[in-house]
Amino acid sequence: MRLVTWNINSVRARLAPIETFIKTHDPDILCLQETKATDNDFPLKFFLKQGFEHYEIAGQKSYNGVAIFSKYPITKLDAPRWCDKDDKRHLAVRFDNGTVLHNFYIPAGGDIPDPEQNDKFAHKLAFMTEVSAWFKEQQADNNKFILVGDLNVAPLENDVWSHKQLLKVVSHTPTEVDHMDEMMASHDWIDAMRHFVPGTERLYSWWSYRARDWRKSNKGRRLDHIWVTPALKPALQSMTIDLAARDAEKPSDHAPVIMDFDLIP
């Protein structure tokens, strides 16, 4: 089973690079974030044509929005109304074999890394705290959970191009890393990308649009993640970040993360 997570930064603006990606990598499950389209405006037909029979979408106007496309049957699961808001940042589904998949778009958090001064940063921290509490409630032996998405935190030193220069930049502040550590501990999550690339090596999934040459400047961050519970660790086969997608005509600023599992959900 090939699983992909990709912050697409507007699904309607990205059909060509998505089609190229699907042709090249043939994912079985495709999790999108920042679709930026209401459910009515979502280009569903395009995805059905790509061979995904099963899907869940959760969109809103202009902002946020998540979607899951699957070649295997999925059943939508109930989830909390995070931070007392109706923004569309999370979808949870169950596969027939009991595996549960969570697709998250954690708030970006604005510019100022101080919850007193910046409501968006406060929202980001509160969101992670709520998610942690929710997963803590669900702890049980042998849960087969997968969590993917744009978590908007680059936790390790080698998840950013300069640990020192980004310590006060939202996405890599110690406060955010603490919140992410708490979230990881809430269900013994395993950082599946780092299972394949050790923390001693650089690993990024996002590069700003503003660099003249994103590859050359390579000022990236690992904001996109795939986590699994221990029961699924033996099924991890390989991981790729598809840099070719970042090179596409009109690309998303995030690259897709591809994870191969030795399992059929």
Partner DNA sequence: ATGCCGTATGATATACGA
Q: Which residues bind DNA (CB under 7 A)?
A: 7, 9-10, 12-13, 34, 36-38, 41, 61-63, 107-111, 120, 150, 152, 161-162, 165-166, 169-171, 206, 208-212, 219, 221, 223, 250, 253-254
CB of 19 to DNA, least distance (A): 15
Burial per residue of 27-43, b for 16 or more beta-carbon CB atoms within 10 angstroms, e otherwise: bbbbbbbbbbbeeeebe
CB of 174 to DNA, least distance (A): 15
**Other residues' Cβ atoms within 10 Å of the Cβ of residue 176:** 24
C-beta separation of 91 from 56 below 8 A? yes
Nearer Cβ to DNA (34/191) = 34
Nearer Cβ to DNA (208/238) = 208
User: 218 CB contacts (<8 Å, ≥6 apart)?
Assistant: 161, 204, 207
C-beta separation of 215 from 244 below 8 A? no
d(CA 236, CA 207): 26
CB of 194 to DNA, least distance (A): 18
Ramachandran class of 48: left when φ > 0, alpha when ψ lies in -120 to 50, beta otherwise: alpha
CB of 30 to DNA, least distance (A): 18
Nearer Cβ to DNA (135/206) = 206
CB of 236 to DNA, least distance (A): 26
d(CA 211, CA 58): 31
**Angle at which helices 119-137 and 174-185 pack, to 10 degrees?**
20
Nearer Cβ to DNA (180/232) = 180
CB of 172 to DNA, least distance (A): 8
Nearer Cβ to DNA (47/261) = 47
Nearer Cβ to DNA (145/207) = 207
Q: How is residue 179 written in tokens?
A: 């919140």
Nearer Cβ to DNA (27/113) = 113
Residue spans of beta strands (DSSP E) within 84-192? 90-95, 100-105, 145-150, 190-191
CB of 35 to DNA, least distance (A): 9
d(CA 82, CA 91): 12
